[in-house]
Amino acid sequence: MECTGQNSSLGNHTALVEFILIGFSDVPNLQGFLFGVFLIIYFLILMGNSLIITITKVEPSLQTPMYFFLRNFSLLEICYVSVTVPRLLADLCRQHGKISFLSCAIQMYFFLILADTECFILTAMAYDRYVAICNPLLYPVIMNDRLCMQMAVACWTTAIPVHIGFTSMVFSSTFCGCNHLDHFFCEAPAVVQLICGDAFMIEMLLYLITTLVASIPSFLIVGSYVKIVSTILRLPSATGRAKAFSTCFSHLMVVTLFYGSGICVYFKSKNSRSTGMDKFLSLFYTILIPILNPIIYCLRNKDAMVALEKFLHKWIVL
């Protein structure tokens, strides 16, 4: 969208103090409908992931490393969507998307941290499945409480110092001219596009961070599942093979959806970007995948469904 009026008069030498998130203002007739849809989705994400956190915490049968990481993953999803969706709902309600530099920087910072944390937790979940299936006799020894806690802490904290530096670098740059951010939140590639002058070093740093965060975990996940599939195919029991494949398929589905859509946005060159497609893909991994996770991990998991039924029955009886 082109800048008009006051924004176009800023010129190339006047520093900006705020952004205007375009969001979905190009479809004004759908603002109310989109608000209702996103509000319902946000509520379902909070409810679904909160249920997973609760049942994996209180049900004795789910006190295993797999459900410990699933609990962390569900908490992450709640934080992840809460960085973007409430702001999106507010902008749809107010019919404008003005956001200050500080708010934009905070939103981008936490979004990047949580996105990286999701990559790391998915990797930890893949390692857990690898040990459980490939080394079942040693599983309780290897995946002990101490290691699980250390892995969880590492997943949640590793990206913090990296993105303090990156976000500081981006927002210490000069933004001038058009302040329209053609997105529904302050996503890094969209913000970097508005930097004045040569942003080559920042773009390269973004590609480097994305490459490391995406490639290393994805290689570890793929390597784990190559060994997992090889082991599953050697299982004598058809029931055992089906159960193992079912658990692994759920995890691989989440990994593929998350990595696939994220890579399409963050690895595009500046000249090949399509703002409409980028917004669609961003909706995919910021809203659609988090709402699918409770379905994928609970409805397709017999143990989780049994625990959920027991939990709901207790509350209904009370």
The percent of residues in the chain predicted with pLDDT above 70, rounded, is: 86
Tens digits of per-residue pLDDT, 258-285?
A: 777 777 777 665 555 555 677 777 888 8
pLDDT higher than threshold 80 for residue 254 = no
pLDDT higher than threshold 60 for residue 92 = yes
Q: With left for phi above 0 and alpha for psi between -120 and 50, is residue 59 left, alpha or beta? A: beta
d(CA 262, CA 243): 29
Phi, psi of 98 (to 5 degrees): -70, 135
Q: Which residue has the higher pLDDT, 33 or 249?
A: 33
Task: Supply the pLDDT for residue 271.
Answer: 56
Ordered by start, the domain boundaries in the chain are 8-317
Tens digits of per-residue pLDDT, 125-184?
A: 989 989 988 898 999 999 999 999 999 999 999 999 999 999 999 998 888 767 888 888
Task: Supply the pLDDT for residue 152.
Answer: 96
Judged by DSSP in three states, 148 sits in: helix
d(CA 195, CA 171): 9
The CATH architecture annotation of domain 8-317 reads: Up-down Bundle (1.20)
Q: Which residue has the higher pLDDT, 318 or 157?
A: 157
pLDDT higher than threshold 60 for residue 301 = yes
Would the pTM of this model clear 0.75, i.e. be above it? yes
d(CA 217, CA 222): 9
